[in-house]
Structure 1
Amino acid sequence: MQPDPFAHALLPAGEFSKAERAAVYRAIETRRDVRDQFLPDPLPDDLVKRLLGAAHSAPSVGFMQPWNFILIRDPAVREAARAAFSRANDEAVEMFPDESRDLYRSLKLEGIVKAPLSICVTCDPDRAGPVVLGRTHNPRMDAYSTVCAVQNLWLAARAEGVGVGWVSIFRDEDVRGLLGIPDRVEIVAWLCLGYVDRLYGEPELALKGWRQRLGLDALIFQDRWNGR
């Protein structure tokens, strides 16, 4: 057996302390999709850089790191994005059954104008070339990797007292044209960020009766689909 030439790069992998573990799980369990609780205070540049650093530390298949982050602070650009959302939202409400539409309309589903910062997270499928380790049989692995970056940013934001809202109701071509995003680059997320001093104790959509959290046990199978 040949010795590992990179053994010198290995570091201890022990578990976190009890307090550190509790902090990680607290960030996960109290993370919320913020729609309306944003404060107007701007986010300091060093804080934004920390959040982007957390996102950039996400795992990526083949270490392709396919993400880019477009920081949007210009009020005119955010207003144009809000208008694009509103058009799509008017279309979306008609897709739901009549009995759900009033509840849908009552939900505040975006904070594009209220939050002081938006970040458009994109995925460049060409970042690592045409053949990527781990993407050879699933071409969506680059987008999945980018979503990991979104989650990293979201959890880091929770630890920093920053709220995040994910806006997904818009026509792709509207945002692509507004931000000058090339056709080959995928738009993964429009995130609204801002300080918050209050968060719902449970997911807002659950509290307001849109949908409830599923029981975990019903989602776990053993060895095969639907295996109990």
Structure 2
Amino acid sequence: MVTAIATVAILGVAGYGLISILGSKNTADASSIQRQNLNRALNYITDEVRSASAISPSGSTSGIIGFPTLTPGSQVVLILTVPNLPKPIVYYVAPAQSPWLGPNNLIRWGPDINPDGSYNTSSYNSNVLVDSINTSGPNTACSTGLPIPSVSNRQGFYACIDSSGKVADVYLIGLFTDSSGLSSTSDVNSRIYSRSISKLRSN
């Protein structure tokens, strides 16, 4: 009887340890996937900024025909003027909507991309680039350039844009919550220079 009880106790401890190890591995894997998604999103933004002739230092979408009315809590960050496009490309953060994970999504409004890599200038839409974006960012001032949006209310996607409209420091902060409810953040950033000649052809 004593041996049986001891065996059950040992198996229980071992089982708990195994569950903890598996849980930690799953959390680490999910966190790694989130960072990969952030890096992919930043790479996509980088390519498009490099194709732009100018980056708006104001963050204002006033006068952009067809740009949608944003939901409360949304923030416009990047407005790109790309050669041969009739309208700018806009990147903004907005509260998540199903089926995307929250709290925020990073969204691109612009022309769809054709299978051959060219822009479809007749079709402008909003598409989620990456989800699980944090609702807050650091309140530190930009070392160079103008903060978009303002320092006081940054969320997990923001930029410091040079007044020349040619350089942007872009920041992405993801928020990961594991199965136990513990939250952690991961961030990626890059300094991006615009170019006057687009990499992508326009149709």
- TM norm structure 1: 0.21
Higher RCO (C-alpha under 8 Å, 6+ residues apart): 1
Structure 2 length normalisation: TM-score? 0.22
Higher helix share: 1
| Larger of the two Rg values belongs to structure | 2
More strand by share: 2
